[in-house]
Chains A and B, each alone.
Chain A
Amino acid sequence: MNALRVYVEGIGLWSAQLASFADLQALLAGATPPAPTPRPAAATLPPNERRRAPASVLLAVEVAGQAVAMSGRAASELACVFASSHGDQAITDYMCATLAQTPAELSPIRFHNSVHNAAVGYWTIATGCHEPSTAVAAQRASFGAGLLEAVTQVLTEQRAVLLVCSDTDGTPPLLEVTGCTIDFGCALVLAAHASATSLARIDLTITGAGAVTALPEPLAGWRDASASACALPVLAALASGHGTCELDAASGIGLRIDMEKIV
């Protein structure tokens, strides 16, 4: 099978330590980027939605907004693939605790915010996007599996796709089983053809599972602390504009990514 070739036009990043992709580039160049604000701005949402939206939605919308702005594309024209390993853990914790104690008092808003596609739902509403949108998960391989889903959409439909992968941190007791201790989100705008806004060309090849690219600290620690940070080998390669990396796309398969800078 030939490699799957797509072009990156926009990159978004937000975590407890980094407020943008530029901050990651600065960090990898040896600088110390300033700490981000406690909550992502998620400026794409209208103010009333921003106040009401749960943390998982703010994080996903923040990185999506960054990537789309960088691409220069209209958000309303992009198909959306939003990946997350655990969805909104704070809402899951609230729901399970409330159902154990006073089930009849469950909040209707928090229930409809509990669906895995809440973030992509808020995003499509805020951007007036009627294109196909999906929400996916694959445990620790959520980024790789989401990337594969996004790339198949780019190539079969010959269209640009917004990929988001994000997870917020958890709290006990749920944290015992999610192991997700930090906020981390990233986004890519992917296109089928090179253009004036292309940043990098990436070739994906499906491989056997198991080979995962080593990362320097603090990136390796972040990857251990959030499944969504399994995207970091790709983001680090994008920071330099070229390179090869590997990551899991399912328990049985991996992806090798060969990247070339577009100048």
Chain B
Amino acid sequence: MPVSMTPLAITAYTATSAMGRGRAAQLDALRRAHSGLRPNDFGATPLACWIGRVEGVESHVLPAALANWECRNNRLAWLGLNQDGFLDRVRLARDRHGADRVALLLGTSTASIGATEDAYRRLDVDGGLPDDMLRPAIHTPHSLAAFVSAALGLAGPCLTVSTACSSSAKVFASAERMIRLGLVDAAVVGGVDTLCDSVLFGFNALELVSRSPCRPFDAARDGISIGEAAGFALLERRDTAPDAPQLIGYGEASDAHHMSTPHPDGLGAELALRAALARAGLQPAQVDYINLHGTASQKNDEVEAALVSRSFPTHTRASSTKGFTGHTLGAAGIVEAVIALLAIEHGFIPGNLGGDTPDPACSPVFAWHNEQRRVDVALSNSFGFGGNNACLAFARAGRAA
């Protein structure tokens, strides 16, 4: 097991999802138990399902200086960066530490593959990509991070983590390692994934998409609803902002079981959880809230319900918020990290929307409805294809240890 880590301050954070733009919109939708899901209206031949679509992405044009990065994914990234004063906070960090002392580590599952899909729908008569799509920088998994690097004017280490649905959780771990080694003094982490045909038709081909709004941990759940989101956080050493909420632990582990279904005993998920608790120096009973991966797929929820039910006492509260946002894939880690941070900041446990008839595997640890209570320590689970698991641990500054 890893040794405990020095906590890092989270000096800025933001998310934009189907619940709306920025933290206040996320909190408001969660408080009103208002889902952002809607019937699928994406693409030319929409499948009969529900999606978590961010309103207004199409009209959020990039500034002229960044026009060469135009694509829907980068528009959502830009929309997300413009919330909660995040751009200003990064500018301050850049001025304080130097552009080469701020890392940029972003997670995405499909980046701007939607632009490549679009190019293939409009091939030239000779079978080539159309002229307006001959932009190599947007047809690569690194498109998002390279765009955000240009938008933020950063010149430090810059990396894309693409481990499917754990991507934007794992960037917190990479950032902590870089700061601990002294390679950088701060890191912008986060992730963006947008709706695209690859994921809508891909998950549909795997028979993992529900025709109805997803119902995480419901006994009658029948699949996921796909969403899109952008989220970012700024990590710095604790002395920079002693009162800011903190990253206190993380864990990463592999199932070594199957490419698209989780280990039946949740082995990798449990190893990631134990590693996060060990780095945070926590016992399970000290955890107030867990934002679960909770996709509403049969297998994920079965395995995760068993894991949290056997691992935590009932005063720990747990819920999935994918009934609000849909499964935002590579952005799920950062969106749910933001929700965990909102739970700490506002003393608020979001209820598990969609779980009207709880799966019998769920212990009383599950919060089916909103609860108002102090949260000092919150975890967030993120699991991806390939058996890739991550767990993050956050805490209020100055919590009683």
Contacts and interface: CB of A to CB of B under 8 A. Distances in A.
B93 to A, nearest CB: 16
B146 to A, nearest CB: 6
A172 interface: yes
B127 A172 contact: yes
B160 A172 contact: no
Given A116-B162, A130-B271, A134-B252, A249 B177 contact: no
A163 to B, nearest CB: 13
A252 B142 contact: no
A125 B162 CA distance: 18
A149 B159 contact: yes
Given A125-B257, A133-B254, A251-B158, A4 B120 contact: no
Given A120-B386, A139-B142, A145-B157, A176 B129 contact: yes
Interface stretch (B197-205, B238-246, B307-315, B393-401): B197-205
A84 B173 CA distance: 20
Q: Which of A100, A129, A133 has the most CB of B within 10 A?
A: A133
Contacts of B386: 115, 117-118, 120-122, 124, 133, 135
A117 B256 contact: no
B100 A253 contact: yes
B206 interface: yes
B135 interface: yes
A152 B157 CA distance: 12
Contacts, number: 230
Interface stretch (B75-83, B180-188, B222-230, B367-375): B180-188
A178 interface: yes
Interface in A240-263: 249-253
Interface string A132-164: 111111110010010011001101110000000
B155 interface: yes
Interface residues of A, number: 67
Interface in B247-278: 252-260, 267-268, 271
Interface string B90-109: 00000000011000000001
Contact of B113 (A92, A132, A139, A178): A92
B205 A121 contact: no
A106 B199 CA distance: 10
A96 interface: yes
Interface string B137-162: 10111100110010000111111111
A103 B197 contact: yes
B120 A156 contact: no
B160 A111 contact: no
A173 B123 contact: yes
Contact of A132 (B181, B183, B254): B254
B155 A97 contact: no
A117 B158 contact: no
B371 to A, nearest CB: 33
Nearest to A145: B159
17 contacts: A86-B140, A95-B202, A96-B120, A103-B45, A103-B197, A117-B162, A121-B385, A131-B254, A133-B386, A137-B142, A149-B174, A156-B177, A156-B180, A172-B127, A174-B116, A177-B133, A179-B136
Interface of A: 1, 4, 76, 80, 84-87, 92, 95-97, 99-100, 103-104, 106-108, 111-118, 120-122, 124-125, 127-139, 142, 145, 148-149, 152-153, 155-157, 172-174, 176-179, 206, 249-253
Interface of B: 2, 45, 99-100, 109, 113, 116-117, 119-121, 123, 127-129, 133-137, 139-142, 145-146, 149, 154-164, 170, 173-174, 177-178, 180-183, 197-198, 201-207, 252-260, 267-268, 271, 384-388
